[in-house]
Amino acid sequence: MAHEVVVGLLRAVNVGGRKLTSAQLRGTAEGIGYTEVKTYVNSGNVVLVSPHGAAQVADELGAALTAEAGFAVPVITRTAQQWHAIVEALPLRDEATDDPTHVVLVTWDGPVAATAADFDATRYGRERLEWRDSELYAHYCDGQGRSKLTLPVLEKAAGRRGTARNWNTVLALDALAQERV
């Protein structure tokens, strides 16, 4: 297989005392043989080049980071092409243009439950959700930090584990990935 550019998102790091620095992430990724490793902000984002596919990167990097950190570090991955397609498919274009820090992408560790589209977000506030196969686009018009529509609530609806990034981070990771394609 040719080398694959992969976007990796660490789940639940640098919250609740679960500290893992960008330097640790970069060093661990390079130590297991990935190249062109670039982290983005200290919240568990990495773009790298791998000799194998995204699914193997998720497993391999997750195991290595778990050993490094001493706690479970799930990694959700997408290829550069998948990530770019996610960016291009954005259904909340006006919101992303006017208010990109309140537009959030949740990436799931697999396809969401068929019932996820029936989830009633209005019970939690004014958030707008657009479910996709393995992603969720959300607009937190009043800010994610104040919302009752938390990641655990969304995970229950999705039947999956996920991690969220604001739209500015999504675009920055896309740019880093496209530089390596």
pLDDT digit string, tens, across residues 8-44: 999 977 667 788 889 999 999 999 999 999 999 988 9
Contacts of 14 (CB under 8 A, 6+ apart): 20, 42, 43, 44
The mean pLDDT of the chain is 94
pLDDT at 97 over 90: yes
**Cα–Cα dist 165/43, whole Å:** 9
Give the model's pLDDT for residue 143. 92
Burial 167-179 (b: 16+ CB within 10 A, else e): bebbbbbbebbee
Give the model's pLDDT for residue 15. 64
CA-based nearest residue to 124, from 96, 84, 156:
156
CA R_g for the chain: 16
Give the up-direction half-sphere exposure of residue 98: CA atoms within 13 A in the CB hemisphere: 7
**Cα–Cα dist 155/67, whole Å:** 25
**Cα–Cα dist 20/128, whole Å:** 31
User: Sorting pLDDT into bands at 50, 70 and 90, what band is 173?
Assistant: very high
Q: Name the pTM for this structure.
A: 0.95
Give the model's pLDDT for residue 14. 63
- Please, what is the Cα angle at 94 between 163 and 6, to 5 degrees? 35
| Digit-coded pLDDT (tens) for 41-74 | 988 999 999 999 999 999 999 999 999 988 899 9
Strands 135-139 and 128-131 come out as antiparallel
User: Sorting pLDDT into bands at 50, 70 and 90, what band is 169?
Assistant: very high
> Residue for token digits 């984002």?
45
